[in-house]
Structure 1
Amino acid sequence: MNQGNMFSISNRFRLPLFTAPICILICVFLLDSQARSIGDESQENTITDETAEYLRSYGALMKSYMNLSVDPCDDFYEFACGNWKNVKPPRQASHKRSNLLDIVYTLTDVTEQLLTRTQLAEALNVSSELLVAQRFYNSCRTAADFPAADPAYLSLIRSIGGFPAVDGQAWNASRFSWFNMSAHLTNYGANGLILEEIMPQYPFEPYFKLPELGFDYFVHTDNMVNSSSRAYTLNEKRMRGYLNAFNLTEDKISSVIDGVFDFWREAAAVEDKFGGESDQCVALEAPAFGQWRSYYEIAWNGLNFDNGTDPSQFCDFYYTELEKVCAKHQEAVANYLAMALLYRMDSKLKEKKLQKDHCLLTVQFTLAHLFNKLYMAEHFSEETHSEISAMVKELRKSLRQVLENAEWLDTETRREALQKEASITPVIGSYRNEEITSLLIDEIGKLSLADDSYAQSMINMRRLGAAIRRHNGRNFEKISNDSKPLELLLGMQVNAFYYNLDNSIYVMAGILHPPAYHRLWPDSLKFGTLGYLVGHELTHGFDTVGSLFDGSGQKRNWWSTKSEAVFQDRAMCYVDHYSNYLIPEINRKINGAETKDENIADAGGLREALAAYRSHMKQLQRRMEDNETLAPQNEQMPGLDLSPEQLFFLGFAQLWCADYEEEHYWEELTKEHTIDKYRVLGAVSNSEDFAEVYKCALGKPMHPKAESCRVF
């Protein structure tokens, strides 16, 4: 893989809140004429009453997240975020909640507005597609509670493998294939026993990760040891709810659930043989698993990507052993996969009042290219683009200084590194490809909606989502080999990316909302939030993966033997540091090896952003000295007794304020990003600047040792 993103999407693709009333988030966002711009040398010195009130309001919001009883030098995460989980507004979510990812709900509220923009849609020639979105949304809003036993769902399940718990003796075990049924599930974005991801480069073929067993709580050997564990009770409750819908007897329901858990335990034991690590699995000898051609026939219209029949795309050992387990538990596997499809269609509402969230999120993500076109036309201003561009320039100057001052780089390696930095292409908002965007929006217009069956409409919606996700791969022979991943076309998303193949960074328009950015904020806060995010992406060009590519995006070793040895040693410091963090909720430690590049990028981004802010303030000071009519701008946030640089670090930390349930730790444990709390603690405890700004004495938890981890 050769991309990186800020959040947990696909591995190595450095590419998903509402914290204030929507009228503040949206209306103030549009007050560009009142804004203070980093790139505007004639800084606006007049603070209007409206601006002052907004800043007071946002300062109070930031303060409400904090636990002021905690010494920031003891636990900066708790100091910055200790009360966030108690004040966050209720929203529909199937995963963890976090302050940064909650921008999704800001965009959801924008989506609700865009659904009414018929004149804008007409002007952009997407009015028929918007009508499709409106029809689905309206039917979703009026739908009753999720009907698991709806004939449309049952018909689909029977067509792809069957549901023995419901069909009884009519279910034919001799015709059942667990692998084929799992392949069919991928056509609806459902998680079965094939976990499909899409490679982020031409020809955009699929690749595979270990399947995630379970529903509301991913199961592992040590979290379902007894029926009182949370993993057991949550999954048991979910399955019982689905099976009850079919009026099965209590004995039958219990038998089905027991069977699924027996299957899970044996499947998890296969994973235990290699510790859940794909690299270790690949090293195990096993006969080739020969069923992948069926998957390509079912899910990819029989496409051959040259390596489409190559079983080395995923560990032969795992699937060979899983085949044996599935043969022993045929009925249980079929029941599990049937319920996995129901789970994909289910809104999973915790409260009925959150149904609007579910409906908006469904259209927002599935019909993303339509809403992106509307969003970019109405909500992304040239003024915002200019300011973000100016910030990126400041961050790049900071990165160059870091590379120039890295004394351990030899002359030739430093020259290559500086050449790579000089070749970085920044994209603010989104990448544009009107041809592909039009094709994808046309597909939305073809979506079939059943007026008399919301279940059938949802089935069709899920199938459309999977088809759009696979568009580039399914059409790779018709598109150019320098085509970009579809994610880069979506400005309306909460993300930022570094893309190794063309040495570019992307700051997507959707992330430009609080708590990541607001044009009215002090620059100290802007650099601590968005500046850090930009620096994070820039640093990915020089992490252990990015360092394998040169300035033109070619995979080439441009390192001297001596410099590379020092680089790897410095990277190992991060592995060791983060591997010491214990997650007490699940009694597991952070995987420092898996998360090292993200941790390196966090440290680099934070360091570069602070250096860029300091340089920016020196430039402002010089301009004020040259022009006595310019008044100094206020770099503090009203209501927070913090210096500008303390505010910088608080802004960074509050991006990662989060609320986890026990199951969410398991969900993120194997991802490439560190759990949010330890992401903050690891970054600041390795920052000499943080220790200086917050006056943390040597030996305090946030300043544990004099020499911290540092690559550049």
Structure 2
Amino acid sequence: MILCSISFRSAWLWGCLTSLALLELSTKGKARTVTGSKKDTSYLQSHADLMRSYMNFSVLPCDDFYEYACGNYRIVKPDRYSPEERSSAFDITYTLDDIAEQFLGRSDLAESLNVSSDLKIAQQFYNACLGADLYPFPAADPNYLGLIRSIGGFPAVDGAAWDASKFSWFNMSAHLINYGASGLIRDELSDAYPFWPQFKQPQLGFDSIIQLDSIDSNSSHAYLLNGKRMRGYLEAFQLPEDRIADVIDGVFAFWREALVAADKEDDSQECQAFNLTNYYDIVWQDNSTEELCHSYYVEIDKVCARHPEAVANYLAMKLLYKFDPLLSAAKYQRVYCRTALRTSMAFLFNKLYLAEYFTEEKKLEVSEIVQELRKGLRSSLEKADWLDPETREKALFKESTIRSVIGSAEDSLLTDRLIREINRLEVVDGNYAATVINLRRLSCDIRRFSARHSEELPKETLPQMVLLAMQIQAFYDPLGNSIYVMAGILQPPIYHRAWPLSLKFGTLGAAIGHELTHGFDTSGSRFDGGGKYRSWWSENSRRSFDKRAECFVDAYNKYLVPEIDRHVDGDASVDENIADSGGLSQALEAYRSHMQQLLEDPKHDGLSEQLAGLDLLPEQLFFLGFAQMYCADFEKEHLWNTILKEKVHTIDKYRVLGTLSNNDDFLQAFNCPVGSGMRAASETCRMW
């Protein structure tokens, strides 16, 4: 299973886990009409005020719509800490954290769902977290140092007592995996049963992912930022300044050689085998003997042999970095603890969340919106005159077989087993470091539960990620030809039942359309309606498709990110950009079609499609809602990290600008002339 996601970068601490609730939809029969709930005038006014507060009215929408829609977000956003970039959609995280914290007092709900003992453990951990001294981070805590020494050592601290002859970079990296840390082995679990690990090149660095050109001088932002992080850890051990400087220099020297080795691997056409026996023994407690055909590990082994002490120091500090709450002030500790609580015990809180917050009315309305978007997608496929009749017929068949899952997928037996795993957590009285070490290990065991128990699980078992309702995500799965709209995404600024339909379709509708379009992007279009990977397009249609895809690549390649003097990678983000474009177009068509139905129905006379305080026409509000899902506040390191990640969404600002400047309906809605900032040329890119 390959999951393509709209990704609003939910929860930074613990990774994805799981939950329940399934609603399958079909395009057969007439969809029910989407009707808004009874309007809450006070709420709608406050939400309109919030939307206005994000906007910079000194900028004309046709000059720079992102700045017009989001220019003040950085200034007015609530003071909440995040070690990642802040964005309006990411802020849903704090709403979900609030809810999780409230659940700690809901013993009645926990008892009714038979999770009382699990909730008590969650409360114990939360109390331990709140009561700990986490700012500044106590890197020198004996529990952390003891763990580091047990898996490879910390030569910066241990000096001559550290024995290089007994050190293995591979073994220490494997041990880091058991605590959720990323060292020099990067394994990701497959999304398909039996969920075997897959190996990729690791990304080096701490707060900022590094490349050779980002640390080319001692004054570069990435150099200073990563150096500051290492210095903070080393100073906690009261090391002398000359020793700290030597350790940091050694790590940077290792990084530079490792990055050259990575480039060499990229250019290598020859497979080189690397023995993985110790990885399986350490990470999976399995005595499997296997070799990996991955030249990077062969090359990095040579580099590590030249820098054993620097590598051990780097891995030791990477483990500390995983335990570090990354707080900039003590006042943010509660934020950290709430997020740690919710994400590390996700199965538990998802069960509570679905029972309390995912109502039948909400499920029904979202399913109706999906139905309207399905109609919009079919219309796009039918209107695509560059598709030949045979390919169009197959594409329409694929659309007709898409399965839609609202809330999350359901596997109650697996979910209950994973909730029960929480009972294994040992909360050590008065010792938060020991407790969080236990929790990290348990969280990783839970994440690998399905893989570890694959032989006893049915082959139809779904990946844990699609069971997770309480996350700010939506997915497309080409193997199952399915889209997933997770319950956690159904919060402002993406959805609220009281909103006018123009806003709902511009936000949630565009997100759903994005996922549907993934079935027909450069990757999804290579899977047929049955989820089989094969070539089902005619040569002419594929050539036309590739030409249109190239238009998107060229358009996004032109965006320069001035803060880091780097262009957007249009090739890496092409699928997400096509999905944004197609999803927004289909959402607008769905909105127009649905409004036409309502206008023909006398029961809906007087339906308001505007928000008081926003002097915008309905379709202008539609586009404003879309843009304000991506209002963001980026630091330099966040920009670097987004650029350097593989196959990512475009940086939020350019995601909005690229999508809207290639949308003819947007240009018409705001009367943007050719030559304006949003309409540099008369021609636009469009796939669907």
Q: Please, which of 481, 501, 508 is the counterpart of residue 503 of structure 1?
A: 481
Question: What is the letter of the counterpart of residue 658 of structure 1?
Answer: A
| CA–CA distance in structure 2, aligned partners of residues 273 and 666 of structure 1 | 22
- 8 Å contact kept, 1:287–1:320: no
Match of 1:98 among 53, 71, 87: 87
For the Cα contact (< 8 Å) 2:128–2:430, is it kept in 1?
A: no
CA shift for structure 1 position 649: 0.3
Task: State whether residues 363 and 406 of structure 2, in contact with CA within 8 Å, keep that contact through their aligned partners in structure 1.
Answer: yes
Code of the aligned partner of 1:328: R
CA contact (8 A) 2:8 2:472 kept: no
Contact 2:130 / 2:337 at 8 angstroms: preserved in 1?
yes
SS of 1:507's partner is: strand
- The answer as to 2:612 corresponding to 1:638 is yes
5+ unaligned residues in a row in structure 2: which ranges? 12-30
Q: Structure 1 stretch 200-209 or stretch 154-163: which is displaced more?
A: 200-209
CA–CA separation in structure 2 for the residues paired with 1:82 and 1:8: 19
Counterpart Cα distance in 2 of 1:2 and 1:287 = 25
Q: Tell me the secondary structure at the aligned position of residue 501 of structure 1.
A: coil
Q: Equivalences for 1:189-588 in 2 at 5 Å?
A: 189-273=180-264, 281=266, 284-286=268-270, 288-302=272-286, 309-312=290-293, 315-316=294-295, 318-588=296-566
- Equivalence map 1:106-121=2 (5 Å): 106-121=95-110
Find the aligned partners of 1:104 and 1:271 in 2 and give their Cα distance: 35
- Report deviation, 1:8: 7.0
Give the superposition deviation at 1:219: 2.0
Alpha-carbon separation, structure 2, partners of 1:302 and 1:662: 42
RMSD of aligned Cα (Å): 1.7
Aligned to 1:670: 644
Partner of 1:688: 664
User: Per-residue displacement from partner, 1:476-509 (whole Å, max 9, x unpaired)?
Assistant: 2222222211011111110001111111111111
Q: Deviations over 1:438-495 (max 9, x none)?
A: 1111111111121132111101111111111112211222222222110111111100
- Offset at 1:2? 2.2
8 Å contact kept, 2:36–2:501: no
Q: Which has the higher contact order (CA 8 A, sep 6+)?
A: 2
- Contact in 2 for aligned 1:496/1:534 (Cα 8 Å): yes
Aligned amino acid, residue 680 of structure 1: V
Distance 1:563 1:668, change over 3 A: same
Q: Is 1:703 equivalent to 2:679 in the alignment?
A: yes
Tell me, which stretches of 5 or more residues in structure 1 are unaligned? 10-15, 18-37, 275-280
Q: Deviations over 1:57-85 (max 9, x none)?
A: 11110011011111111111111111101
Q: Which amino acid is the alignment partner of residue 72 of structure 2?
A: N
How far apart are the structure 1 equivalents of 2:285 and 2:511? Answer: 39
Q: Displacement of 1:270 after TM fit?
A: 2.5
SS at match of 2:176: helix
**2:494 and 2:508 in contact (8 A); partners too:** yes
Match of 1:79, SS state, is helix
Number of aligned pairs? 665
Aligned partners of 1:388, 1:202: CA distance in 2, in Å?
Answer: 29
Instruction: Tell me how far apart the structure 1 counterparts of residues 127 and 453 of structure 2 sit (CA, whole Å).
Output: 32
- How many percent identity over aligned positions? 54
Amino acid paired to 1:609: A
Cα separation, 1, equivalents of 2:277 and 2:570: 36
Quote the Cα distance in structure 2 between the aligned partners of 1:374 and 1:544: 38
Contact 1:286 1:320 in 2 (8 A): no
Structure 2 counterpart of 1:309, one-letter code:
E
**Could you say which residue in structure 1 is the equivalent of 2:127?**
138
Report the alpha carbon displacement of residue 242 of structure 1 after superposing the two structures with TM.
1.2
Please give the TM-score of this superposition, normalised by the length of structure 2.
0.94
Is the Cα contact below 8 Å between 1:67 and 1:82 reproduced in 2? yes
Q: Which residue of 1 aligns with 2:71?
A: 82
CA distance in 1, matches of 2:34, 2:663: 31
Deviations 1:362-395 (A, max 9, x none): 1111110110001100111000001001100000
3-state SS in 2 of match to 1:428: strand
Residue in structure 1 matched with residue 589 of structure 2 by the alignment: 611
- Segments ≥4 residues shifted beyond 6 Å: 41-44
Tell me if 1:661 matches 2:652: no
TM-score by length of 1: 0.91
Indicate if the aligned counterparts of 2:34 and 2:368 stay in contact, CA closer than 8 A: no
Say yes or no: does 1:593 pair with 2:571: yes
The CA distance in 2 between the partners of 1:198 and 1:676, in whole Å, is 27
Write out per-residue CA displacement over residues 398-439 of structure 1, whole angstroms, 9 at most, x where no aligned residue. 111111111121222111111111111111111110111011
1:2 maps to 2:2:
yes
Aligned partners of 1:2 and 1:546 also within 8 Å: no
Q: Does 1:620 align with 2:611?
A: no
